Amino acid sequence: MATPVKRIEKDFLLKVLYDEKIPVMCLKGQTQYILKQDKPTKGQINFISDRPIEEIKVRKKIDLVFDYRGQVITFSAEVLDFKDTRITVKEPVFLYKDLARSFARVSAAPKFDVQFTLAGDRYSLSYPKVDEYEVTSEEDFLKNIDPKNLSGLIDQMSEWIKGFASSCKLVVFKDVKPESIEERLLAETGKAFYLPSTQAPFPDEDPHPRKRFITSEIFRRYLESTGVEPRFLDDACERFVKRKFEDGIFSDLWIPILFQEYVVGYIHIWTNSETEPPFDYSVVETLFQFTKILANSLWMNGYFEAGKMKKESFEGKIIDISASGLLFSYPHSPLASTMIPDSEITVQLAVPRRSVHCKAKIVRRYKDATLGYFGCNFLDMAPEDMRFLFEYIYGKPFTDSDAGLLAGHV
């Protein structure tokens, strides 16, 4: 993920850009241009290019990149004026570093034709939906259990839970809607509700690498959304946990059952004796595994079949593209709503001489009033296809020096 440079560092970088005459690369279409700043930055930047830049327009932005002591910096700047090889651009608001893409992106070549298809089976369901994607897998984590044997799976899970929990509850949001605070939090966030001890404050930290727990901050935001005034939030959190203790619950755990981007239900376990140890992270992690197996079993037993979407290719508009990924837009629709980070699509890129087929993972998305924008990384592209795509996009042979300059930076 690109990181915006702070203001002080930005001012410093724009100063050394002029002082040290650092070359700036501009990628326009399939051509690479080298620019150098010829005046100090004062609200605008004046460049001299190694040759006139084709198709440049006033009030349009150009993408620029430079290397400062091994750190690649990129920015977009609005063109204020140009003549021959002289170009004046507006001082950018942000510079970016630490980009997580392998090659510089350029505006799509005019002769690109692209078709997308959702990878795997995708569903449009009435369950609560979150902005995360869980991969559906047929892998069986349990021994001697047929994943299609849903009742056997539930029996084995219940038997395991009896070893450390007083009670358990399995709920599927098929015929019931989220009502309690915990259910609504699970449905809105797709995260687990975990109180190791109801004699301790609500947890402030989420120790899971993928941030899967509801923290006190998330809980406070939820309470505020329901109308609790900010000055009463601390007291409301404390009273919520205390009420559980008074109801005889000493350790409490709710794990959502996630199928793709849907929260289809949850497993709730708790202890009601002070002599029982609180749930530790090994219990939490095992229960996470159970919910994955359970979602997989529901899928294999046809619980979601009625919501399966017809697999059809669609056209998106490419905003920019590189040898390692692309950004495209697509109108808001049920189809667009299924394209969330970590989901995969298949891509067919057709140019006059050749077609490239590969998969791509959506790594980020954002939207405006009418369109969704999807940033993707190519997956498992054949080396010869990557070489061809590089040479078509950048208009030059792929060399080791190019790889050294660009790979891992932009």
Task: Compute how many other C-beta atoms are within 10 angstroms of the C-beta atom of residue 239.
Answer: 11
In this structure, the answer to whether residues 197 and 285 fall within a common structural domain is yes
Instruction: Indicate if the pLDDT at residue 99 is higher than 80.
Output: no
Per-residue pLDDT of 119-172, as tens digits, reads 888 898 999 999 888 876 554 455 566 777 888 888 888 998 999 899 999 999
Last residue of a domain, one of 287, 306, 325: 306
Of 32-36, 188-192, 293-297, the poorest mean pLDDT is in 32-36
Q: What pLDDT sits at residue 384?
A: 86
Task: Compute how many other C-beta atoms are within 10 angstroms of the C-beta atom of residue 307.
Answer: 13
Residue 287, SS3?
helix
How far apart CA 382 and CA 387 sit, in angstroms, is 9
Q: Enumerate long-range contacts of 382-386, CB under 8 Å, 24 or more apart.
A: 382/358, 385/356, 385/357, 385/358, 386/323, 386/324
Domain around 46: 3-97
Number of H helices, E strands in the chain: 9, 19
Per-residue pLDDT of 209-229, as tens digits, reads 778 999 999 999 999 999 999
Q: Which domain CATH number covers 397?
A: 2.40.10.220
Q: Which domain CATH number covers 70?
A: 2.30.110.10
Q: What pLDDT sits at residue 30?
A: 59
- Asked whether 374 and 385 are in contact (CB, 8 A), the reply is no
In this structure, the answer to whether residues 147 and 273 fall within a common structural domain is yes
CA angle 364, 68, 52 (to 5 degrees): 85
Q: CB burial class (10 A; 0-12, 13-18, 19+) of residue 286?
A: middle
> Is 364 inside any structural domain?
yes
| C-alpha pair distances (Å), 289 with each of 90, 120, 139, 263, 405 | 52, 22, 11, 15, 42
What one-character DSSP code corresponds to residue 101?
-
How far apart CA 261 and CA 258 sit, in angstroms, is 7
Q: How confident is the model at residue 362 (pLDDT cuts 50, 70, 90)?
A: very high
- Asked whether 85 and 52 are in contact (CB, 8 A), the reply is yes
In this structure, the answer to whether residues 167 and 218 fall within a common structural domain is yes
Q: What pLDDT sits at residue 97?
A: 77
Tokens of 112: 């690109």
In this structure, the answer to whether residues 32 and 133 fall within a common structural domain is no
The 3-state secondary structure of 361-379 reads EEEEEEECCCEEEEEEEEE
Q: What pLDDT sits at residue 407?
A: 42
- Asked whether 300 and 149 are in contact (CB, 8 A), the reply is no
What amino acid is encoded at 132 in this protein? Answer: E
Cα dihedral value 335, 340, 343, 344, nearest 10 = 60
Q: What pLDDT sits at residue 136?
A: 63
Number of domains in the chain: 3
Q: How confident is the model at residue 104 (pLDDT cuts 50, 70, 90)?
A: low
Instruction: Indicate if the pLDDT at residue 74 is higher than 90.
Output: no
- Asked whether 195 and 252 are in contact (CB, 8 A), the reply is yes
In this structure, the answer to whether residues 206 and 188 fall within a common structural domain is yes
> Is 387 inside any structural domain?
yes
In this structure, the answer to whether residues 277 and 139 fall within a common structural domain is yes
In this structure, the answer to whether residues 295 and 332 fall within a common structural domain is no
Instruction: Note the Cα 380 to chain centre separation in Å.
Output: 19
What amino acid is encoded at 262 in this protein? Answer: Y
In this structure, the answer to whether residues 222 and 295 fall within a common structural domain is yes
In this structure, the answer to whether residues 136 and 280 fall within a common structural domain is yes
Residue 88, SS3?
strand
In this structure, the answer to whether residues 290 and 156 fall within a common structural domain is yes
Q: What pLDDT sits at residue 135?
A: 73
Instruction: Indicate if the pLDDT at residue 373 is higher than 70.
Output: yes
